[in-house]
Amino acid sequence: MNKVILKAGKEKIVNRHHPWIFSGAIDSVIGDPENGSQVHIIGSNGNFFGIGAFSPYSQIRVRMWTFENEKIDQEFFDKRIDRSIKRRSYLMDKDHDSAWRLIHAESDQIPGLIVDQYSDVLVVQILSSGSEFYRPLLMDSLRKVTGINNIYERSDLDVRKLEGLKERTGTVSGNIPQEILINEGGYQFIVDLQSSQKTGFYLDQRINRRIIAEYCNNKDILDVFSFTGGFSIYAAGNNAKKIVSLDSSAEALALAKRNQALNGFSNNEHEWIEGDAFQGLRKMRDQNRKFDLVILDPPKFAPTAAHVDRAARAYKDINLLGFKLLNPGGILVTFSCSGGIHESLFQKIVSDAALDAGAYATILERLFQGPDHPVSLTFPEGGYLKGLICLKN
Ligand code: SAH
C-alpha cells in the first residue's frame, strides 16, 4: 500500500477530521501512487490516521475517504451514498418537491462528488481525482441505492484542471431528456439538464425562495440575476404586484418565461430585461425607478480568496444600486455564493453600500444554503451561500 507520511506537528488537522491534507503538511510519499488512487496516511510517529485519495497535481494533495482502517470498495460507497440520502430523509417532502442535492461532496464524506436529483434523473459532477478514480464504483452504488438508472454527467468545471482531469459531459446511463420538469414548493420548473449552468437549477436557494416569497405580496419586485425565474415565480405565486426579472442570459430568460406560463401566471405584470446587471441597475437608477423589494443573487464573484478585493467592489456596487432603487420601507435581499467572501465581510460590504447610498438599514433575516447542501462541522469550507434580508427604513 502506498503511504503518505505527515510532517511532525501536522497531525492535528487530520485528528480533527478535516478532509483535506495540503502538500505543505506532507513529509514524504512512499510508493508511486497514481492520480486519485488510495494512500494510507501515517503520522510522523508511525501511527495510522486513515485512508485518502492522492492528488499529485493539486495543492490539496490528499482528500480523506475515511479516518478508520477499512476497505475502499463497492460496499464502502454503497454505505456512504445510502447515509448521505438518509441524512436528507427528514427534509425530502416527496409530495411537493422532486429535486434535491443528494450528495454534497466533502460535507457528505464523499470528497469531489456532487449529485443532484431532478425527478427521475441524477446529474453528477466529479470534481476530484479520487472520485474520478472510483467513478465506476460510485455510479454503480448510485444506481443501486437510488434505484435510478438515468445518470447525466456535468463534469465541466475548471476545478478539474487543478486535479489533472479533463472535462467530461454526457449520458452515463439510461435516457436523458434535454429538459425535465421538477416540482418545488408547489410550483413547476423546466430544467435544462444538458446545456444549463451549474447542474441545471439553483437547488441551494430552495428554502430561501420560500422565505422571500412571504415578503412579496402586493409588492413591486426587481429580481436581478433571475436565471430561470426561481425567485420571480415564487413572487408571482405570492401575488406580487409587478415583477421585473433581469439576467444576461437569453436562454435563462426564455426558460423563465416558459416557467411563468407553466405555473399559470401569464397575467402577472412581468417585465423581462436581458442584459448586464451593472449597466441595467445604473440605467434604472438614472430613470429614477423604484421597487419595494430588490433581490440580488449574483454568480460567484470570488471563486477563491485571490479574487476577494475585486469581488468586494462588485458586491458593493450592486448593493449600493440595490439600496438606491428601493422605496422607503423597501426590502433588499442580497446574496453571495462566493466561498472566498465570509459572512462578516459580506455584511460589512452591504453596510458600506447602504452608507454610500445614504440609506439606514436593519437586518431582518440571515439566509444560508438549504439543508440538502449541508456543512460538516469538520469542513466549514462547505458553507458558501450567505444572504441578508435588509429593511431600508
Ligand atoms: N436567482 C437564480 C440563480 C442566479 S445564478 C435562481 O434562484 O435560480 C446567477 C445568474 O446571473 C445566472 O443566471 C447568470 O446568467 C446571471 N449573470 C451572470 N453575470 C451577469 C451579469 N453581469 N449581469 C446579469 N446577469 C448575470
Average pLDDT, the chain: 95
Decide if pLDDT at 126 tops 80. Answer: yes
The finding on whether 252 has its CB within 6 A of some atom of ligand 1 is yes
Decide if pLDDT at 243 tops 80. Answer: yes
Can you tell me the mean pLDDT for 263-269? 83
Decide if pLDDT at 174 tops 90. Answer: yes
- First-to-last alpha carbon distance for the chain, in angstroms, is 64
The finding on whether 249 has its CB within 6 A of some atom of ligand 1 is yes
* Structure confidence at residue 189 as a pLDDT band (50, 70, 90): very high
Minimum CA distance residue for ligand 1 atom 18: 299
Ligand 1 centroid, distance to 42 Cα (angstroms): 45
* 190, 240, 256, 337: the active-site residue: 337
Residue 278 grid cell: 451593472
Give the pLDDT score at 197.
64
CB atoms within 10 A of CB 52: 25
Quick: pLDDT tens for 128-150: 999 999 999 999 999 999 999 99
User: HSE-up of 24 (CA within 13 Å, CB side)?
Assistant: 1
Decide if pLDDT at 304 tops 80. Answer: no
Nearest ligand 1 atom to alpha carbon 201: 8
Residue 41 grid cell: 496516511
Give the pLDDT score at 302.
82
Give the pLDDT score at 306.
83
| Owner of C-alpha cell 427604513 | 393
The dihedral sign for the CA sequence 361, 364, 366, 367: negative
Nearest ligand 1 atom to alpha carbon 227: 13
Ligand 1 centroid, distance to 76 Cα (angstroms): 38
pTM of the model: 0.95
Nearest ligand 1 atom to alpha carbon 276: 23
Q: Best substitution site from 247, 255, 301 to test ligand 1's pocket, by max atoms within 8 Å of Cβ? A: 247
Ligand 1 centroid, distance to 10 Cα (angstroms): 41
The finding on whether 100 has its CB within 6 A of some atom of ligand 1 is no
The finding on whether 204 has its CB within 6 A of some atom of ligand 1 is no
Decide if pLDDT at 82 tops 70. Answer: yes
Q: Is 337 a catalytic residue?
A: yes
Q: Is 11 helix (H, G, I), strand (E, B) or coil?
A: helix
Ligand 1 centroid, distance to 247 Cα (angstroms): 6
Minimum CA distance residue for ligand 1 atom 8: 230
Decide if pLDDT at 199 tops 70. Answer: no
Give the pLDDT score at 198.
64
> What are the b/e assignments for 347-360, b being 16+ CB within 10 Å?
bebbbebbeebebe
Query: Which of 42, 52, 49, 203 lies closest to 122 in space, CA to CA?
Result: 203
Give dist(CA 287, CA 297) in Å, integer: 22
Decide if pLDDT at 112 tops 70. Answer: yes
Give the pLDDT score at 267.
67
Identify residue 166 by its one-letter amino acid code: K
Quick: pLDDT tens for 19-72: 999 999 999 999 999 999 999 999 999 999 999 999 999 999 999 999 999 999
Q: How many residues does the chain have?
A: 393
Decide if pLDDT at 221 tops 70. Answer: yes
